[in-house]
Amino acid sequence: MKHANQTDNILGVLASWRDKPAEGRRLTKAQSRKGRLLTSFLFIGMLVLAGDLSTADCGLQIADPRVPNRQSEIPYRWAQSEIPNPKSEIRRLSARAEIPNPKSEIRNGPAVSGRPVVVDASRYSDLQKAFLAVPEGGGLVKLPPGDFLLTRPLILTRENTRIEGAGAATHLINRNKESQPAFIIRPASRLSDRQARIWRVQLADFRISGNPKSGDGVRAEGVNEIYIHGMSVDHNGGHGINLIDCYEDPRICDSIITYNGDAGLNILSGHDIVVNGNQFEENRDAVRCIDSFNLCMNGNNLDDHLRHGVVIENTYGSVLSGNMIEECRGTAVVLDRDCYGITISANVIAHNSGGGVDLRDAWGCAVSANTFTIVAQRAVAIGPGSGRITVTGNNFSNAHIGPGVKRDDPATGVTLAHTSDVVISGNVFTGLAAEAIKAEGECKRIVIVGNAMSDLSRSALGRATPAMDLSGAEAVVKDNAVEKESPAEQ
């Protein structure tokens, strides 16, 4: 009623103003303000009735202010505020953003600058032409199933690009015998500018293989935030995957990398690296991480490597955990050349011929909660270039299964060589071929506390040997539970 009275008053004022002579047509300030407001409402109402404008377009919500707006579940006091109409907002946003039709974006022509596109590689005479069709904005290149024979490397220089196959049915076969890679990813100016970078390239769901005389399967240089997952990379003459100066946030996940002539994965100068959930088998080395930072290697399966499992050099602040590392001809894990601040934890390190964890040049590192089973030589070795190490909560054992021994393979413990500041605590040493802990040369500030040791010196052939050989070491030894009789005495 109040609003109706105000409207009648304004209409009356307008009528009287119209009937007055021109010189008398003057309104008070309040009347003028009300008139302008009414004129605006009348104009908007005409547009709404004509269908040219919705109430949402003008920010109005038609509702009785006395009744809550139950549909939107917004308190009634907001009912007349600027609440958008969802359908209207979607329409207007779509018009502004010009969302493309995916089918119209599948390209079959030369590359153009602009927004990302989808490139169907099956429409091109060769894969390189499909890669060249990717514009500066990047996009998705879809590789069809089939065998693709390569005699020279494929080269990708676009960033923000994903190369995606149809699983192992998409197979790139490198027939080159001059040590050339199958696939090169790098900035276009990389050869002349070593500081050049591209960002966010992804490889997914296809297979790359080579021959003993070919090069790397994938060679990426200067690619930040590279993401490789769901790949099969095998039988290449060089590294399976070689990441050179892919500094920022490389990720290698859920791939199978096997039978490559050098490392399965080689990382040179990387930072914040994730290697997760992969399978490595019968490469020369499984993983090499050189001159890098912050390697996070978790949940991988490494088996039957011709040399080492994981080699880390000049790298700090890293963690290896939850990995299965079995039957390397060399050593399961090697830390060398100025490593520091690295944790090796919760791994199973089994039946590696050359050793378990070899700390050649490593400082401030932790070896904890690992299972070292039937490691024939130096399950943990701390060398003269290493110190400030904790060895805690590990299990060093043979194949004992209660009533007997499952297999008669030797097992070993910890070897210290000219090192210092080492704590060995809370470990279990059982069924070992010789002593649990052995010190060689001058070792300083060694603490050996709270370990359990039994069934030692199994290869002593009737000779009684001590549980620990600490000759010449400066050591604190206490509260260890040591079996009094060795197998030689029983």
- Per-residue pLDDT at 459: 72
Looking from the CA of 482 toward its CB, the CA atoms found within 13 Å total 18
Cβ–Cβ < 8 Å for 481, 456: no
Nearest to 270 by CA among 298, 296, 286, 290: 290
**pTM: predicted TM-score of the whole model, two decimal places:** 0.77
Spatial distance between the Cα atoms of 140 and 155, rounded to a whole number of angstroms: 15
Nearest partner of 225 among 170, 182, 270, judged by Cα: 270
Q: Which residues contact 97 (CB under 8 A, 6 or more apart)?
A: none
Q: What is the pLDDT of residue 115?
A: 86
Token pair 């100068």 in the structure block, residue:
269
Per-residue confidence in pLDDT tens, the chain, 490 aa: 544 555 555 555 555 555 555 554 455 555 566 566 665 656 555 554 555 544 444 444 433 433 444 333 333 233 333 334 444 333 322 323 333 344 434 444 444 557 899 999 999 999 999 999 999 999 999 999 999 999 999 999 999 999 999 999 999 999 999 999 999 999 999 999 999 999 999 999 999 999 999 999 999 999 999 999 999 999 999 999 999 999 999 999 999 999 999 999 999 999 999 999 999 999 999 999 999 999 999 999 999 999 999 999 999 999 999 999 999 999 999 999 999 999 999 999 999 999 999 999 999 999 999 999 999 999 999 999 999 999 999 999 999 888 777 888 899 999 999 999 999 999 999 999 999 999 999 999 999 999 999 999 877 655 667 899 998 899 999 999 999 754 433 3
- Cα separation of 304 and 295, whole Å? 23
| pLDDT computed for residue 55 by the predictor | 45
Q: What is the pLDDT of residue 405?
A: 77
Write the DSSP string, 245-303.
Answer: S--B--EEES-EEES-SS-SEEEES-EEEEEES-EEESSSSSEEEES-EEEEEES-EEE
d(CA 283, CA 240): 8
- Domains recognised in the chain with CATH numbers: 2-97 (no CATH), 120-301 (2.160.20.10), 307-490 (2.160.20)
Angle subtended at Cα 428 by Cα 424 and Cα 429, rounded to the nearest 5 degrees: 95
CA 4 – CA 272 distance, rounded (Å): 69
Q: Looking at residue 38, what is its pLDDT?
A: 60
* pLDDT score, position 296: 98
Give CA separation, 429 vs 323, 421, 483, in Å: 21, 21, 11
